[in-house]
Amino acid sequence: MTYAPGDPVVVKNDWPETRGPVHIRTPHYLRGHKGQILRYLGDHPNPEDLAFARPAAKHPLYHVTFPMNELWPEGRANDELVVELYEHWLERP
């Protein structure tokens, strides 16, 4: 586990689907946006490998919160979205 509750993170602005067939669990609208770790959910097998019946290493999974106005200009600052994201999709700002 690399991150703790309250840590700021950015979702990697990566587009592996442009490089070939993949299964991506990270929503495209989050890529490149800033959020904050809410909680650690444990280590779980990587669904990006499980989708293709490949051996799947376990990765830390987190609840990450995003202010709605970070994602959409018309979003209200007091509202937030909570998403489950694997650590390999996160980086420090």
Q: What residue ranges define each of the domains in the chain, with the CATH number in brackets?
A: 8-91 (2.30.30.50)
pLDDT at 45 (0 to 100): 94
Instruction: Render pLDDT for 20-57 as a digit per residue (tens, 0 to 9).
Output: 777 788 899 999 999 999 999 999 998 888 888 889 99
E strands, the chain, where? Answer: 8-11, 34-45, 58-67, 80-86, 90-91
pLDDT at 84 (0 to 100): 97
> Tokens 């490998």 correspond to what residue?
49
How far apart, in whole angstroms, are the C-alpha atoms of residue 47 and residue 23?
Answer: 8
Q: Is the pTM of this model over 0.85?
A: yes
Say whether pLDDT at 19 is over 80.
no
